[in-house]
Amino acid sequence: MKTQVAIIGSGPSGLLLGQLLHQQGIDNILLDRVSPAYILGRIRAGVIEQGFVGLMKEAGVAERMLREGEIHHEVDIAVHGDYHTINLTELTGGKSVTVYGQTEITHDLMEARTASGQLSFYEATNVKPHDMKSDKPFVTFEKDGETHRIDCDYIAGCDGSHGVCRAAIPKGILTEYERIYPFGWLGLLSDTPPVNYELIYVKSDEGFALCSKRSETRSRYYVQVPLDEKVENWSDDRFWDELKRRIPEDAANRLVTGPSIEKSIAPLRSFVVEPMQYGRLFLLGDAAHIVPPTGAKGLNLAASDVNTLYRILIKTYKEGRTDLTQRYSEIALRRVWNGVRFSWWMTNMLHHFYRDSIEDKIRDSELNFFLASEHRRRILAEQYVGLPYEDID
Ligand code: RFL
Ligand code: PHB
């Protein structure tokens, strides 16, 4: 087989890139090691920046997102029972975020891909990128007992944090930066009305909690738990009791509980690899970086990588700009590090790390400092709604 761009990974990064390229007449083939149903069963992010919505529009797949997604102009931060409203729209000169689940985005993109007729192979095994440093890279994989080869111009590594693409880059090329936090988030999804229209990020003596949602009838809640905690130890009742202990009293009184649809623990980690490319192989999204979810940036950073590579490839194919592909990593990393820093900062301010430590007292002080004036809240708001994408020229 032959294509222009071979895309490894059918998460939001791979699907969005594939659809954008298709809209521009750039042919691509998509591979994933699991089935579409498995991918759609993963419950992950929910807060979408305007830049991402713009890309979905450009890809021609934003219709349901614009209809069903909720526009949020505010976000609440509750500190030891007191609410602080961050008015995103006022503080950023009109910007907002959209609440629309990653699962829905993936669903919409998969449907569009099927309609587009672009080739996709799911449950592909032993996927491998080859000859990335040459101008004739290729990808091999197995499917139904047969080995296949895709010859291409470029390979997009959109295969998440445990994928093959990063691992295929020879030793000594990449530098990895990592921080592991001493806690995780236990998340619960339920078909119950959300406790609040706006999201509430909660700092309490018992630890962090987050009240989020997917719609007016579906809630997503999280509580900070120790790193070694097991989800089996958390009955739904135990989760709801713990959440009530952490959130402000008025919210606890109106919280509607119900059976969980999904419950899982995600460890918190910051991770970045530099550079985000090797010859004609590019790393995008979780394949290149992981952020703790406190700033709602994981999925949004994946979209910003897609934006960078997509704009570079358009100029490469349509304007003959041979210089730009080498600059992908340098351009993408600037925005990645902003997101990594913001996610680290929010995680630090909103969590207890070690009880009674001076660092935790300083974290409290920093949060209070940033909530105390409009000027400082603006710093938070500008980053929460998402910094602008860099122009490619
Ligand atoms: P994905 O979504 O992980 O997709 C990667 C795809 O690559 C496939 N793959 C392979 N395919 C072929 N061969 C191989 N060898 C392969 N290895 C892997 C996988 O099957 C998969 O389909 O990466 P992508 O597209 O870069 O998207 C990134 C986002 O998914 C991610 O940033 C966010 O979901 C992160 N994240 C969250 N972000 C937020 O902004 N808010 C959240 O609340 C939030 N919660 C989460 C999260 C990530 C989690 N993970 C990864 C454990 C909760 C969890 C549990
Ligand atoms: C979510 O709804 O899953 C969510 C929202 C905001 C975050 C993290 C997760 O910061």
Residue 52 pLDDT: 98
Tokens of 340: 């990594």
Evaluated on CA atoms 380, 381, 386, 389, the torsion sign reads negative
Total domains in the chain come to 2
Residue 105 pLDDT: 97
Q: Which ligand is nearest to the CA of 40?
A: 1
Residue 201 has pLDDT above 90, yes or no: yes
Q: Both 214 and 337 in a single domain?
A: no
Q: Both 257 and 285 in a single domain?
A: no
Q: Both 107 and 246 in a single domain?
A: no
Residue 314 pLDDT: 97
Q: Both 28 and 151 in a single domain?
A: yes
Rounded average pLDDT over 219-248? 97
Residue 72 pLDDT: 97
Q: Both 250 and 276 in a single domain?
A: no
Domain around 347: 5-70+98-177+269-353
Q: Both 161 and 307 in a single domain?
A: yes
Write the CATH number for 220.
Answer: 3.30.9.10
Q: Which atom of ligand 2 is nearest to the CA of 293?
A: 8
User: Do residues 160 and 233 lie in contact, with contact meaning Cβ atoms separated by under 8 Å?
Assistant: no
Residue nearest to atom 6 of ligand 2 (CA): 296
Residue nearest to atom 30 of ligand 1 (CA): 299
pLDDT 10s digits, 342-354 = 999 999 999 999 8
Q: Both 349 and 216 in a single domain?
A: no
Q: Is residue 371 part of a domain?
A: no
pLDDT 10s digits, 312-326 = 999 999 999 999 999
Band of pLDDT at residue 42, cut at 50, 70 and 90? confident
Write the CATH number for 118.
Answer: 3.50.50.60
Rounded average pLDDT over 192-203? 97
Residue 58 has pLDDT above 90, yes or no: yes
Q: Both 28 and 136 in a single domain?
A: yes
Measure the CA–CA gap between 28 and 7, rounded to whole angstroms: 7
Q: Is residue 78 part of a domain?
A: no
Question: Which of the listed residues 239, 268, 297 is the one where a domain comes to its end?
Answer: 268
pLDDT 10s digits, 154-183 = 999 999 999 999 999 999 999 999 999 999
Q: Both 229 and 312 in a single domain?
A: no
Q: Both 233 and 113 in a single domain?
A: no
Q: Both 105 and 232 in a single domain?
A: no
Question: Is the pTM higher than 0.95?
Answer: yes
Residue 68: burial class (beta carbons within 10 Å; 0-12, 13-18, 19+)? middle
Q: Both 170 and 276 in a single domain?
A: yes
**CB neighbours of 364 closer than 8 A, spacing ≥ 6?**
203
Q: Is residue 75 part of a domain?
A: no
Q: Which ligand is nearest to the CA of 222?
A: 2
Q: Which ligand is nearest to the CA of 214?
A: 2
Write the CA distances from 45 to 10, 12, 187, 284, 370, integer angstroms. 16, 11, 11, 17, 25
Q: Which atom of ligand 2 is nearest to the CA of 346?
A: 10
Q: Which amino acids are annotated catalytic?
A: 72, 201, 293, 297, 384
* Residue of 7, 159, 180, 212 to mutate, ligand 1, most atoms within 8 A of C-beta: 159
pLDDT 10s digits, 65-118 = 999 999 999 999 999 999 999 999 999 999 999 999 999 999 999 999 999 999
Q: Is residue 312 part of a domain?
A: yes
Centroid of ligand 1 to alpha carbon of 65 (angstroms): 20
Q: Which atom of ligand 2 is nearest to the CA of 213?
A: 2
pLDDT over 90 percentage in the chain: 97
Tokens of 68: 């069903």
> What average pLDDT does the chain have?
97
pLDDT over 70 percentage in the chain: 100
Residue 44 has pLDDT above 90, yes or no: no
Residue nearest to atom 48 of ligand 1 (CA): 44
Residue 330 has pLDDT above 90, yes or no: yes
